[in-house]
Amino acid sequence: MTKGISNADQADEMKIGYPSVERARAANEVGAAIAHALNGPLTALLLYVSDLNQNSDRFPAGDSDGQSLKQVAENALRETERVCFLMQRIADAFETPLQEETAIAQGREVIRWLARVGEDGESVEHATPVAQEPLTAREREVLRLVIEGCTNKEGGKRLQISYRTFESHRAHLMRKLGAKNAVDLLKLALLMPETLSDTPPTDATSIKAVQA
């Protein structure tokens, strides 16, 4: 790691001082992954410590040192809030023009895999988080055809692409949707018809275009 990382106050300088795009991407992914991994526990911590503070009138009075539990709870809340703030800054500091959501998704994926493998017998495949990445227009077309029952060859023919390309789109969209097989895709299509339709705001660009 670079010397910039040793001091959180230099976070702004770091953005300028990146030696390479690869490094920026790596830092981005690590920062985003850490922020995301800590997100849940920090939320829980903030709620618990706030709860202690809101009920601190039930604590016994201060002991001989004058250090009351109430004061300890207040300090705990202040530090928790500080950690939340720092975490937000760490997450924000890694802003680059790169595809940050992809970085977040990838980083989170890694951490979740690590956390889940072996836990209640869940396999890595099953633990793959999904659907944060919207399907592309092409992937939606491929999804529609797969649900109609097209084989890769038939689908490729209908879209006038090679069956290998079709297969690759299919693999990609299944990964995005967390589907293990065609039955999963069918279930998904029944539950969420908008996954298949062209018009809905399934991807960010369409939303931005509407808002612009």
Q: How far is CA 29 from CA 11, 48, 105, 169, in A?
A: 15, 29, 9, 25
- Half-sphere exposure of 14 toward its Cβ, with a 13 Å CA cutoff? 25
Write the binding mask 76 to 95 for another protein: x where contact by CB under 8 A, - elsewhere.
--------x--xx--xx--x
Is 7 a binding residue for another protein by CB under 8 A? The answer is: no
Is 61 a binding residue for another protein by CB under 8 A? The answer is: no
* Nearest to 109, CA basis, from 36, 172, 179: 36
Number of chain residues interacting with another protein (CB under 8 A): 46
Judged by CB under 8 A, the chain residues 139 through 168 that form the site for another protein are none
Judged by CB under 8 A, the chain residues 107 through 146 that form the site for another protein are 108, 112, 126-132
Closest approach of Cβ 16 to another protein, in Å?
16
User: Pick from 7, 54, 151, 197: which binds another protein (CB under 8 A)?
Assistant: 54
66: alpha, beta or left? (left if phi > 0; alpha if psi -120 to 50): left
CA dist 18 and 23 (Å) reads 7
In this structure, what token pair is assigned to residue 84? 């939340």
Q: Rounded to 10 degrees, what is the CA torsion of 133, 202, 40, 122?
A: -60
**Are 105 and 132 within 8 A, CB to CB?**
yes
- 101/148 with CB nearer another protein: 101
Closest approach of Cβ 104 to another protein, in Å?
6
- Half-sphere exposure of 125 toward its Cβ, with a 13 Å CA cutoff? 5
Is 40 a binding residue for another protein by CB under 8 A? The answer is: yes
Judged by CB under 8 A, the chain residues 186 through 205 that form the site for another protein are 188, 191-192, 194-195, 201, 204
Q: Which residues bind another protein (CB under 8 A)?
A: 32, 35-36, 39-48, 50-51, 54-55, 84, 87-88, 91-92, 95, 97, 100-101, 104, 108, 112, 126-132, 178, 188, 191-192, 194-195, 201, 204, 207, 211
